[in-house]
Structure 1
Amino acid sequence: MAMENLKQFLVALSAAAAVGIVSIIFVLIWVLNYKEGFAWDGGLAEFNWHPVLIVIGFIFFQGIAMVAVFDFHNAAKIPNMYSLHSWLGLTALMLFCLQLVLGVGIYLIPVTPASWRAAFMPLHVYGGLLLFTSVIAVALMGITEKLIFGLSNPKYKDSPPEAIFVNVLGVVLVVFGALILWIATRTSWKRPSDQVLHTLHTSGEGEDSSKVGPVLSQLSDGTDAEPFGDIRRRSNKLDDQAN
């Protein structure tokens, strides 16, 4: 990676991390300052675990977040799964579990053929980006829904301080998502083609490279990849020049 590209990548990554931290701070301030804090007694404070855990870590805390909202609904006699927010949220959760199982099964198990790894890679990358953007959309719907139903005096349409604050939280989440997507889709910040091919090939133990060559001839971004023989010859040539 060229030094200029490296600097741009570090700036974008730092900006994304900073915005992500700001979004966590915002959602914590919202719950602790404007709401009732945290509890696990079936009251309103129990629901607050849901937005906080979704924002902080959809992956790590997703199970506890789903339990909190269902338990709150059951205690308050509120129907479950009636809103678009809940439908898409549960769909994203199921798709994430599928993405996790397929990712572990295909890329972490050494006996998986390299041809399978290469064929699944474009779908795996697309699925990750789709899930990430979907979760942000679900979070935006959820916080808007909470403001509409939760604010009564003054109402959400009257733009009280809580409504303005949470709207800013939504904007921060969108900016964070945009930065992450920018970083993830920048071609100059991706690993070189030969490194991707080498990783996929060496991870699939014992498979003949002649069998995976046609599959690995193109990467997920549609660019042609060098055959393994050409990679080795070019590497040896560079070594000879260095000596």
Structure 2
Amino acid sequence: QDAVRAEPVRRPAAVSRSGRGLCGFGLFLEHQVQRGFKWDGSGLQFNWHPVLMTTGLVVLYGYGSVVYRVPFTWGQSKLPWKLLHAGLMLLALLLSVVGLCAVFGNHNKNHIPNLYSLHSWIGLTAVILFALQWVAGFAGFLLPFSPLSFRKLLKPFHVWLGGSILTLSVAACISGINEKLFFVLKGDNHTASYSNLPPEAVHANSLGVLIVAFGLVVLRILTNKSWQRPEPDQQETAYTVGKCLRLIKMWKSLSDGRLE
């Protein structure tokens, strides 16, 4: 029984550790193997793209997705964790947008076409859906005038789309890694061939495997109903910005000794 109870604790911890390792490995790969970062339109600007997209669309997105699966939060007010969820997702979205700016800037300066590959289609679709998901989630679950009926209608779609966006993000990352390797490792101009599996290919392939593993762990947590946060009376509790403001007002009244 203790092992069963501890299992939901281990899974978010595994997500946290693997996410940090994934970010660290990605930074190492771009800094040491791809010669670092700049924001000047060169290939060094492009290096920001995989790091920011992986950190935003995969790692931070995964962190935000499993916030409600941490057991010690289940007996606490949901509002702080809802705000943390929204904050992590917003940060992930912003990093993803900056990552897109990095690759568009690099392509435009070097007269490289944009949005012609399957990788770019999948990646841009993931970011657009992510932005729409965040706006809908904010409107449905945090705005004080959002009706409970709309929350109940939105919640299952919100959960399903969340997992779908993560799947698209993982697909975009691994297709982008493969595309980059095919472009760079052609076996000419003193470069090795991808088919010979040089160290750069081993490092990049390993990053892709780590991304897939991270995504699978997050999806496993999200699809296991026994690890979902219990809701009182099986209903969505109305933790909204309005309730947060009322709690702040009550706290100030207590501080002033004027609790009504």
TM-score by length of 2: 0.74
Aligned to 1:155: 193
**Structure 1 position 8, deviation (Å):** 0.5
Moved more, 186-195 or 45-54: 186-195
**Structure 1 position 11, deviation (Å):** 1.2
Aligned to 2:149: 115
1:165 to 188, 203, 207: 203
Matched, 1:194 2:239: no
**Structure 1 position 21, deviation (Å):** 1.4
Q: Distance between the aligned counterparts of 2:173 and 2:110, measured in 1?
A: 22
Q: Map Cα deviations across residues 131-170 of structure 1 (whole Å, 9 max, x no partner).
A: 0111011011111111110123101111001101110111
Aligned to 1:214: none
Contact (CA 8 Å) 1:31, 1:37: kept in 2 or not?
Answer: yes
Distance 1:204 1:100, change over 3 A: closer
Moved more, 65-74 or 181-190: 181-190
Written as runs of structure 1 = structure 2, the 5 A alignment for 1:80-99 is 80-99=114-133
Aligned to 1:140: 174
- For the residue of structure 2 that corresponds to 1:61, the secondary structure is helix
| Cα RMSD after superposing both structures | 1.8
Moved more, 188-197 or 5-14: 188-197
Contact (CA 8 Å) 1:111, 1:204: kept in 2 or not?
Answer: no
Q: Map Cα deviations across residues 167-221 of structure 1 (whole Å, 9 max, x no partner).
A: 0111111111111111111111112243551514x7599xxxxxxxxxxxxxxxx
Contact (CA 8 Å) 1:43, 1:72: kept in 2 or not?
Answer: yes
Total equivalences in the alignment: 203
**Structure 1 position 100, deviation (Å):** 0.8
- For the residue of structure 1 that corresponds to 2:183, the secondary structure is helix
Moved more, 141-150 or 185-194: 185-194
The residue type equivalent to 1:199 in the other structure is: T
Q: Distance between the aligned counterparts of 2:20 and 2:241, measured in 1?
A: 38
**Structure 1 stretches (4+) deviating beyond 3 angstroms?**
2-6, 202-205
- For the residue of structure 1 that corresponds to 2:112, the secondary structure is coil
Contact (CA 8 Å) 2:142, 2:241: kept in 1 or not?
Answer: no
Q: Distance between the aligned counterparts of 2:22 and 2:241, measured in 1?
A: 40
| Gapped regions of structure 1 (runs ≥ 5) | 206-243
The residue type equivalent to 1:49 in the other structure is: W
